[in-house]
Structure 1
Amino acid sequence: MQWPLGFLPESPSTPVLITSAAPGVDLPGWLRPNREAVEARLLRHGAVLLRGFHAASVEKFEQATSALCDTLYPEYGDLPREGESKRIYKSTPYPEDLSILFHNESSHLPKWPMRQFFSCIVAPQSGGQTPIVDCRTVLDRMRPELVELFATKKLRYVRNFIDGVDVSWSRFYGTEDRAEVERKCAAEGTSFAWTPDGGLRTSRQAEAVLRHPVTGEAVFFNQLALHHPSSLDPETRSSLLGICGDQGMPRNVFWGDGTVIDDAVVAEVRDLMDRESVVFSWQEGDVLVIDNMLVAHSRSPFTGLRKVVALGDMTTEPAPTATDLAGLSGLAGPRAPRDRSHLPDQVNGAGTAGRQAPATADAGSDGGNDAGTDAGADAGNDAGTDAGIDAGADVGADAGIVAEITERLRHIVPADSAAIGELVLLTGASGFVGSFILA
C-alpha cells in the first residue's frame, strides 16, 4: 500500500513525518525495504521524522539506524565511551541553560557525516527542542555579497587542546605518541604546533559553501555561528580573549586567510538562520534522520534530565565546492523554487506518512522532548589546518591559568560530566568512513 507524505502542523515543510500504521510495527524491518524511499525524502526535504514505532530505547534506536547504515563507527575522539560499549558514546555535556547554535556536524573537519540520526530517549521537563534549518534556503536568502565572501574567502578553524579545559589531544587522536599525531595532522592537511605546556594547537582551512554530492545543490555548510567568539556573552568573551588571545581560544573561526570575521557578519547569518528555521517538540521514541549537508541543527535550552543521541555517514572524499562547479552568480540572489518533482512522494509498507492532528503531533505541549544534541556541539571536533600557527601563544602554562579558563569556559566546553544523560552512537555505511547517532 502507498501513503501520501505529511508534515507536523507546526513544521509544514520539514521534516517529513512518517508514523506507524498499526501498533507493533517493526521499524528496522520496515526500514530495510524502504531504505531508498527514506533516503529520497532526505534529498528532497532534508529531514525525516519517524514517530510512534517503538518506545524510547537506545537498543531499538541502534537497530533502526543499522537498517539505514551498514556499519558502526567506533573512533570518535571527542567523546567518552558509555560503559563498556565500543560503539556508544556519551556526548560532551553542555550547559542546559544555553543554546547550542546552528551548525552542520563536523563541517570544520576533513570528514563529516552525510546523515545524522537523533532519537529522544528521555524528554526534558521543558525546552530542549532541536531547531533545524535548510542550508539551501539559507544560501538562497543570503545577500549576494556575503555569498561571494564565504565562497571565495572560505573559513579557518583554530583549536587549542588545553588539558583540563577540553578533551586532551591524546584522547582526540587516540594516541599518546606525538609523532603519530603529527602524521595524522599531515595526512589530513592540518597545520599544528606544540605549546610549551604540552598542549596542541591546530588549524584548518575549510569551505563555507559546498555543493551536495548527490543533488548538486549549493549549501551553506559550516560552523561559523557556533565557533565564532560572538557566540559568547560579552563578559566571558572579553575575559577569554584577555587570557588567551585570538589564536589561543579553545575554539575560533576566521576568514580563510586568517583575518578576523566581523561580528556584524556573523550576526546577520545567525539572524537569517533563526528566521528560516523550524522548531517542533519531541516525543520519547522519536527518530529523526537528517541530511547533514542539506540541514543544519541547533539545540534549545532545557530543564530536567535529557537523553539524546546523533550523527551519520562520514564522507571519504571532499564534496565539490560551489566555485568548482558554477560561478558565484548562480549561487546568490532570488531564484525559482527548486524542482524536486523527480523525487518520489510515496512510502510503501507499514509506515504511514501523513499530517497528524496537533494533539497527536505534540505541537509543543511537552515544551521540548528533544531528540538530538549533537556530538559536534561539544565545540571540539577540530584538527585544523593553518598557514600561520603561532607556537608561542600558549594559554595553559600553569595550573592557575587552566583553572581560570576552565571556569570561564563553562559556557562553551564544559569538562566531562555525567550530569546530562546523553549517549552517542557512531555509525558508517558503504561509500563512507563512518557515521554518528545521538540518542
Structure 2
Amino acid sequence: MKFNYQARNKEGTIQKGVIEASSKEAALAILQKYGLYLTILEREKPAPIFARNIKFFSNVSQKDVVIFCRQLSIMFQSQVPIVESLAAIIRQSEKAELREKLLKIQEEVEGGAKLSSALSTYPSIFSPYFLSMIRSGEASGKLSEALEYLADHLEYEYNFKSKIRGAMIYPLLVVIVFIVVLIFLIYWVLPPLMSILAENGTELPWSTRAIMSFSNFIKGWGWIIVVGIAAISGLFYQYTRGKEGKYLFDKNIIKLPVIGDLLKKIYLARFAENLSTLIAGGLPIAKALEIGGEVVGNEVYKDIIFQTRDGVRKGESLSSILETHPEEFSPLFVQMVAVGEKTGRIDSSLQNVVNFYQKEVDRGIATLISLIEPAMIIVMGIGAAFLLVSIFLPIYQIGNF
C-alpha cells in the first residue's frame, strides 16, 4: 500500500512524497531510517476509476537523471558507501516522484541487489544503454567513471533537445500570432466592412473577393475542419506508435531534404557514441550492437543494426555489413569502422566519428535556424501585406468615390 507523507530532513527542509510499504509502521520505520522527521503520514486514497492509469509521462526529467548521476559519481569518488550515497541524494531531492523511486532503489540495494538491477525497475527513466553502462562500471570497478560519462552524455542530449525547442519557439509564436490576427479579421473586421462595401455597390478587387470567400468558408466549415484535423492527427499518432507505422514514418522522414540529412547525422552520431562506449566498457560487440539498436531512435536504423548484429554473430565483419546500406551509413562511417577493425581500436575510431558528426549536427542546426527565421518573416510578411491590401484597398476606393 502507498502512504502520503510530509517530513523534515536534518536541515529542516520540508519534504512531501509517497512511499510504498506493507503497513503504516513499516512506512514510518523506512522514513526514520532515512533521517526524516515525520509530521504527516496518511494512507493514499485510491483514485476514482475514471482517473486511474491516466499518466502520459514520468515527472522525472532527463535533467533530474543527470543531477542524480553527478551526485552519485561524486559520492563514489569520495568512497561513500552506495546506500549512504542514495540516502543523502534522497534527503536533498525536492521532487516527490524522484524521491519515491530512489527510496525503492535504495531498499533493493540494501537487500543485496546490484545498482543496475535496482535501476532496471524503472525502464521509462533508465534506458537499456544506461543500464548497460552501469553494469559495465560494476564489472570493471569503474562505476564512478561510468556515472560521470552518463551524466555528460545525457546532458549533451538534453542541451541538444533544448536547442531544437528554443529554435522553434520564434517561428511558432509568429504562426500563432498570424492565426489569431486572421481569426480576428474573419469574425470581427470583415463582416461589417463587407456590409458597408455591399451598400455602396463598390466593385471589390480580386484579393478582397478571395479573402471574403475564405472567410465564408472558415465560418461555415471551421469547426468541422478543426475536428477533422484533430481526428486525423490522433489516428496518425496511433498509427505511428505501432511497429509498421513507426517504421514507415522513420523511413520517409530520413528521405526529406535538409531535415533528413540532419537526422541521419544525429542517428549516426548517437549509434557511434553508444557502440564506442559499450565496446570500451568490455561488452561483446554483438551485445553492444543489440543495445545500440534499441536506443538509436529510428526503426530503419534499428532494423539494420539488428541485421548487423546477426551477421557479426555469424563471423562477418561490422564494416562489410554496414557497407551494404550506403543510404543510411555514409562511406566515411564505414571507412572509420573498417580502420578500427584493422587496428583493433574500433572504440577509438567510432569516437572520432562521434566528434565529426556532432560538429556536423551543430552546424546543420545553426544553418537550419538561419534559414527558418528569415523564411518565416518573408512568408508572414507577404501574408500580412496581402490582408492589408485586401481590406484597405476597397476602403480607399470608397473614399475616392
TM interval, shorter chain, is: under 0.3
**Scaled by the length of structure 2, what TM-score is found?**
0.26
**Which structure has the higher relative contact order (CA within 8 Å, separation 6+)?**
1
Structure having the larger proportion of residues in strand = 1
Greater Cα radius of gyration, structure 1 or 2: 2
Structure having the larger proportion of residues in helix = 2
**Scaled by the length of structure 1, what TM-score is found?**
0.24
